[in-house]
A and B are shown apart, each in its own frame.
Chain A
Amino acid sequence: MRTIKWSRVAINLTVIALIVVWTVPTIGLFITSFRDKQAISNSGWWTVFTNPQGAFTLDNYQKVLFGGDGLATAFLNTLAVTIPAVVIPILIAAFAAYGFAWMDFPGRRILFITVVALLVVPLQIALIPVLKAYLAIDLNGTFLAVWLAHAGFGLALATYLLYNYISQLPKDIIESAALDGASHFTTFRRLILPLSMPALASFAIFQFLWVWNDLLVATTFLGTDQDVAVMTSRLVSMTGSRGQDWQLLTAGAFVSMIVPVMVFLALQRYFVKGLLAGSVKG
C-alpha cells in the first residue's frame, strides 16, 4: 500500500492560504480605519493598493481617542473594570475546585453538577433580579457592582476549568502530604496553588478577554454615562444620531482590540496549557 506523504510545499502553501483568509477581514478593518468617510463609502478598502490617493488620514484615531467621544476615558474605564473582575473570582474558584476535587462530603456530586449546570444559564436572565438587589443596597452604577457581577457570572466556568485541572493532579503527592499531617488548607496553600498556576493563568486570560469585550454587563450595571462607560459601550453609541460614522467606528473598534490581542499574544501559551489539562491522555 502506498503511503501518501504530503509534500512540504503543499502543506506550507495551504497553511499560508489559510492564514491569509483568516487575517484578511481584520486587515480590511485596519486599513479602513485610516481612510476618511468619503473614501469609505465610495470605494472598497483594497483600492488603497491600486489607488493610494493620500486618502490616508490619522483623523479618525485622533477624533476617537481625544475628541468628545472620550474613548481614552473609556479605555481607562475598561481597564478599571477588567482587572479586578479577573482577580476576584480566581481565589474563590480555586478553593471551590479543590474542595470538589479532593474533599469528600455529602452532596459533593450534586453540588458540583449544579455548578456546572449553571453554565447553561444565559446571563440575560440574571440582569433584572441582580439589578433590583443592587438597588436595594444602593450598589448600582459603581465599579464594585460590575466587578461582583462579572465574578458571579464567571465563577461557574472558573470552577469548572480549575476543577478539571486540579482533579488531574497526581494523587500520590496529595496523599503523601496528608500522611505527613498537612491539613487541607496547608495542602491547598503549599501544594495545589503553585501546581495550578497554568490553570489559574488560563482562566485569568479567558476571563480577561471576556470581561474586556463584554457589552451587556457593563451597560446594565455601570451605565452609559461617558464618565464611566467602557469601550464596547462607547463603540456602540459612536454610530451616533448622525447615521453611521463608519470611519470613527473602525478606528474605535481597532483601539478596543489592541489590548486583548496583546494580552492574548503574550500569554497564549498558558491559555492552552491550562484549558487542556484533563483532556490529554498520558
Chain B
Amino acid sequence: MERADAVATPPPRGIAQVLAAGVGRILVSIFVPVVAFVVLWAGFLWLKDSGAPRIVIVLVAIVWGIGGVAMLYVVANWLTEKLPATWQGRILPFVFVGPALAILTFYLLIPAVLTAWASLFDANGQEFVGLDNYVYSFTNPEMVTAIRNNVLWLVFGTVFSTGMGLAMAVLVERSRLDRLAKTLIFLPMAISFVGASVIWRFVYSYQPEGQPQVGLLNAILGAFGLGPVSWLTGEPLNTILLIVILIWGQTGFAMVIIGAALKGVPDEMLEAGRIDGATEWQVFRRLIVPSIWPTIVTVATTIAILTLKIYDIVTAMTGGNFNTQVIATLMWKQAFTFFDAGRGAALAIILLVAVTPVIWYNLRQFRGRAI
C-alpha cells in the first residue's frame, strides 16, 4: 500500500529541477528546429552539388520533397504549439500558408513587380521613360494586330472549346461509346505543344500546285479538284487555323469536366420537364445548362486564360510571322531579339492586365461560398 502511494505521488521538485526543466525545454525548442533546418539545408546543398548518379539524386529529391517538407511543417507546428494560445492562433495559420506564400512571392510576385518597374524604363533599363513603352505598344501596328489576334483566340478558342465540349458532353452521355469517346477526345490534351505542332504540320502543309500534297487539308481539297491553299500564310485565316489546334486540345477537357458535372444533374428534374411537354432543346437550355453553369464558367475561364497567354503554338507553327503574332510572342521578340527590356516588360504587363478580368470573374464564383 505504502509503496503504491510512494509511486503515485511524485516527490516535490526543488528550484534547481524547475530551472533545469525550463532551460531544457528552451534548449530543445531551439535545438529541434535548428537541426531540422540544418538537415533540410544539407539536403538542399547535397541535391544541388552532388555528383552521385542521377537516379540517386532523384530518389533523394523525392524523399526530401515529401519528407523534408513534412518535417518542416511538423517542426513548425510543434514549435507553435508551445506558444500561449492567443499567439498560437495568430501564428499557426501562417505556418500553414507561409511556405506557399514565400515561394510564390519569390517566383511570381517579385518578378512581376520587377517587370512592372522595368516597363517604365528604356531598352537598357537606364533611363526613365514613364509610359512611353505602353504608348508605343498600343500604337505599333504589329501590336495592334497582336491584340486583334489575341481577341480572336479568346473569343473563338473559348467559345468553341467550351461550347463544343458542352454539346459533346450532352451527346456522348447518351451513347454507348461514352467512355471511349471521352478518352480519345481528351487525349490531345496530354500532347505537348511541340508534339501538336508536328501533328498539325501534316494537316496544313502546302505544296505548290501540281505537286503531290502532303498535308491533309490540301489533299482533301485536291480530291474535289480544288487547288492547294497555303493555309498558314494568309491572315486572318491562319490565326483561326491555329486556334483550331487549341480547340482540338481543349474540347476534350471541357467535355470531360462538363460531362462529370452532368452526371450530377438529377434525372427526375429532367423527366419532370419532359413530362410537362418541354422539347429536348428546352430541357437543355432551361434545366441542364443553368444547373451546371458554375462548371461551365470554370472551364471557360480556364481556357480563356490559356488563350491569352498562348505562345508555343504560334511560335512552333508560323514563328509569329504572317500576322499571326500574339502579345506573348511580341513580348519575347522585344525582350530577346531586339534586346529592348523596357518594351518587353510593358508587353508582359499588358498581358497580365488582360488576363486579370477573367480571373476576377472566376473568383466571383467563389464569393458565394463561405470563404
Contacts and interface: CB of A to CB of B under 8 A. Distances in A.
Chain A–chain B contact at Cβ < 8 A: yes
Contact of A126 (B74, B77, B108, B261): B108
A42 B212 contact: yes
Contact of A118 (B77, B108, B201, B212): B108
A121 interface: yes
Nearest to A80: B58
A207 interface: no
Contact of A256 (B180, B183, B195): B195
Interface in A247-282: 249-250, 253-254, 256-257, 260-261, 263-265, 268, 272-273, 275-276, 279-282
Nearest to A29: B199
Interface stretch (B25-33, B98-106, B133-141, B145-153): B98-106
Contacts of A120: 305, 352, 355-356, 359
B195 A116 contact: no
B34 interface: no
Contacts of A133: 106
A92 B69 contact: yes
Q: Which of A98, A114, A119, A153 counts the most B-chain CB atoms under 10 A from its CB?
A: A119
Interface stretch (B6-14, B89-97, B154-162, B317-325): B89-97
B171 A11 contact: yes
Given A152-B103, A261-B187, A19 B180 contact: yes
- Counting chain A residues whose Cβ lies within 8 A of the other chain, the interface size class is 35 or more
A170 interface: no
A256 B280 contact: no
B312 interface: yes
B359 A92 contact: no
Given A41-B214, A280-B260, A103 B92 contact: yes
A16 B106 CA distance: 48
A63 interface: no
A22 B185 contact: yes
B93 A105 contact: yes
A235 B191 CA distance: 13
Nearest to A114: B109
Nearest to A149: B107
A281 B264 contact: yes
Contact of A6 (B97, B280, B345): B280
Contact of B216 (A11, A24, A168): A24
A181 interface: no
A212 interface: yes
Interface string A33-44: 000000011111
A183 B83 CA distance: 13
Contacts of B172: 15
B112 A4 contact: no
A18 B177 CA distance: 11
Interface stretch (B15-23, B232-240, B290-298): B290-298
A46 B202 CA distance: 11
24 contacts: A5-B280, A22-B184, A24-B216, A25-B216, A26-B188, A29-B195, A43-B214, A46-B219, A88-B66, A91-B70, A92-B100, A112-B371, A116-B362, A117-B359, A118-B104, A120-B359, A142-B49, A143-B57, A153-B108, A184-B96, A185-B73, A256-B195, A276-B261, A279-B295
Interface of B: 44, 47-49, 54-55, 57-58, 61-62, 65-66, 69-70, 73-74, 77, 81, 89-90, 92-94, 96-97, 99-101, 103-104, 106-112, 114-115, 168, 171-172, 174-178, 180-195, 198-203, 212-216, 219, 248, 252, 256-257, 260-261, 264, 266, 274, 277-281, 291-292, 294-295, 298, 305, 309, 311-312, 328, 331-332, 335, 345, 348, 351-352, 355-356, 359, 362-363, 366, 369-371
Given A100-B97, A185-B73, A257-B192, 11 more contacts: A19-B184, A43-B212, A109-B371, A120-B356, A124-B335, A130-B107, A138-B48, A144-B44, A185-B81, A232-B192, A257-B195
Interface of A: 1-6, 8, 11-12, 14-16, 18-19, 22-26, 28-29, 32, 40-46, 76-77, 79-80, 83-84, 87-88, 90-93, 95-96, 98-100, 103-105, 108-109, 111-126, 128-130, 133, 138-139, 142-144, 147, 149, 151-153, 155-156, 159, 164, 167-168, 171, 183-185, 188, 209, 212-215, 232, 235-236, 246, 249-250, 253-254, 256-257, 260-261, 263-265, 268, 272-273, 275-276, 279-282
